[in-house]
Amino acid sequence: MRGWRLAVQLGCVAITLFMAVPLYLIALAALSSRRSLNEFPLTLLPTDVSGETMSTFLRSTGIAGGLINSITVGLSTVALALLIGLPAGYALARWTFRGKDAYQLALLLTRALPIVVLSVPLARIFLSTGLYDTTYAVILLHTALALPTTVLITSAIFLGVPREQEEAAMIFGASPLAAFLRVVAPQALPGIAASAVFTFVLSWNEVLGASILTLNRRTLPAQVFTTLADSPLAFRFAGGLALVLPALLFIAAVRRYLLNMWGTTLR
């Protein structure tokens, strides 16, 4: 039995190392000076930490703008997806209506639709409507990608808020809207925040659509991706760290909701 426990502990440590060591190494690479990156063999310990590589990356053409575009697109996508998806999620949780099954089926189907199938035709549609190469184009695409998951997550959250409380508020004279805002919304808020983080991550990580729909108004990953072939290694490492860092924050923020969101609701 003791050998078994030891094997379990060792297995956990081995997997943690597999997951964590690459994160350590990209941070090490991005925080090394250009000079020490040119040496071989590279040092495996942080003996020569320098912000030079990162600051050169951040001052490269299109990076600061890309960062701003990424944040703009991410936040707008969150807002738009919640604006459209939250009422639908509430309706799914509270009512039975004709076509409900078909609607849920459509939501699931869209999740199987590859981004690539939408991106190229959307580029043509946006070219003819004047939306090409704007952040609006990317916001619309990302909202479309996030909408099915937003509806599914919010409907699961609203299912968790007892309907009786809402009805009690209405019996005491609250309008349906007031009952929703005063009784349901406060209880649903943490879950909705987690769903917002999920949407932001989706938008932050999306490369292909953003690269196809824009030329000058690129998001950060699209900018890094489209200039990849012409960039020095130091730039790519810095870009890698810049893209990975927010992931750590996102996961820390929604750790409590991970199993429910990714594990159950979205499966």
Partner 1 sequence: MTRRGPGVPGAVWLILPSLIFMAVLFLWPLAVGVTQAFSGPDGPTTAYLRRMLDDPYFWQATRNTALLIVVLLPVQFALALTMALLLRQRPRLAGLHFSIWVVPLAISDLAAGLVWLSIFTDRGYLNSALAHVGAGSYSWLSFEHPVTMFLAVVIAELWRATSLVFVILMAGLQGIPRDYEEAAAVFGAGYWQRLRHVLLPQLRPSLQVALILRTILALEAFAVAQALTGRNLPLLVGETYQWYYTLQNPNVATAIALVVLALSSVAAIGYLRLIRPGPGVTG
| Contact flag: residue 49 with partner 1 (CB under 8 A) | no
Write out the binding residues for partner 1, residues 110-129 only, by CB under 8 A.
110, 112-125
Nearer to partner 1, 54 or 151 (CB): 151
DSSP 3-state assignment of 199? helix
In the region spanning residues 170 to 229, those forming contacts with partner 1, defined by CB under 8 A, are 201, 204-208, 211-212, 221, 224-226, 228-229
Among 35, 163, 182, 256, which residue sits at the site for partner 1 (rule: CB under 8 A)? Answer: 163
**Which of 37, 79, 23 minimizes the C-alpha distance to 235?**
37
Q: Do 134 and 90 touch, CB atoms closer than 8 A?
A: no
- How many binding residues for partner 1 (CB under 8 A)? 103
d(CA 143, CA 141): 5
Q: Residue 78 or residue 201: which is nearer to partner 1 going by CB?
A: 201
Give the DSSP letter of residue 232. -
CB of 28 to partner 1, least distance (A): 8
Using CB under 8 A as the binding rule, the residues of this chain from 8 to 27 that contact partner 1 are 8-9, 11-12, 15-16, 18-20, 22-23, 25-26
Whether residue 41 is preceded by a cis peptide bond, meaning omega within 30 degrees of 0, is yes
Q: How far is the CB of 179 from partner 1 (least distance, A)?
A: 13
Q: Which is nearer to partner 1, 6 or 64 (CB)?
A: 6
State the Cα–Cα distance between residues 54 and 69, nearest whole angstrom: 19
Residue 164's alpha-carbon distances to 11, 183, 185, 254, in angstroms, are 47, 10, 14, 28
Tokens 């997806």 label which residue?
81
Which of 56/119 has CB closer to partner 1? 119
Return d(Cα 54, Cα 238) in angstroms, integer. Answer: 5
> Which residues sit opposite 32 in a β-bridge?
49
Spell out, one character per residue from 124 to 153, where the chain touches partner 1: x when CB under 8 A holds, - when not.
Answer: xx--------------xx-xx--xx--xx-
**Footprint on residues 77-116 left by partner 1 (CB under 8 A):** 84-85, 87-88, 90-92, 94-98, 103-106, 108-110, 112-116
Reading the block at residue 43, the tokens are 């040092």
Cβ proximity to partner 1, 43 vs 165, nearer residue: 43
